[in-house]
Amino acid sequence: MKIAIASDHAAVDLKAELTDWLRAEGHEVNDLGPATADRVDYPDYGYKLAAVVAAGDADRGIALCGSGIGISIAVNRNPACRAALVSEPLSAALAREHNDANVLALGARLTGVDMARACITAFLSTEFGGGRHSGRVEKLSQPALQGASR
């Protein structure tokens, strides 16, 4: 699977560990930066990740910052992206199954590497359930459908 990954300075170490692990698992990983722990702004990397996922240059994205909150907000500014901030594997699986999330967000200061791996494994191995969820997911990228019931 093609995976794009990006972080801010607070998550550079976790990003490096996860990138190495994902590559060892056989995934093609595009590390969008940053390369060092020098201070950066998470929106810049969230927007960059969102653009890559939205363009179809990655099957899924992984967004990391200190809490995971800021970078997930940045990614979700792109209507083609559905970033889910999670802290455990069940939420990661449900984000895929029910919401067709295409970006997983994690907080490096809140989630250890083992839990991050468990969340990513659940995220990458779960398919979108479709069915009753499809119309709701469609509304996420088309705000004009707001309020229209299915």
> What is the set of active-site residues?
65, 98
* Sheet strands side by side (includes 2-7): 28-31, 2-7, 60-65, 103-107, 83-85
Q: Contact at 8 Å (CB) between 86 and 121?
A: no
First to last CA, the chain: 33
With CA atoms as reference, report the closest residue to 22 among 64, 54, 56, 66: 64
In angstroms, the CA 46 to CA 69 distance is: 11
What stretch of H or E contains 6? strand 2-7
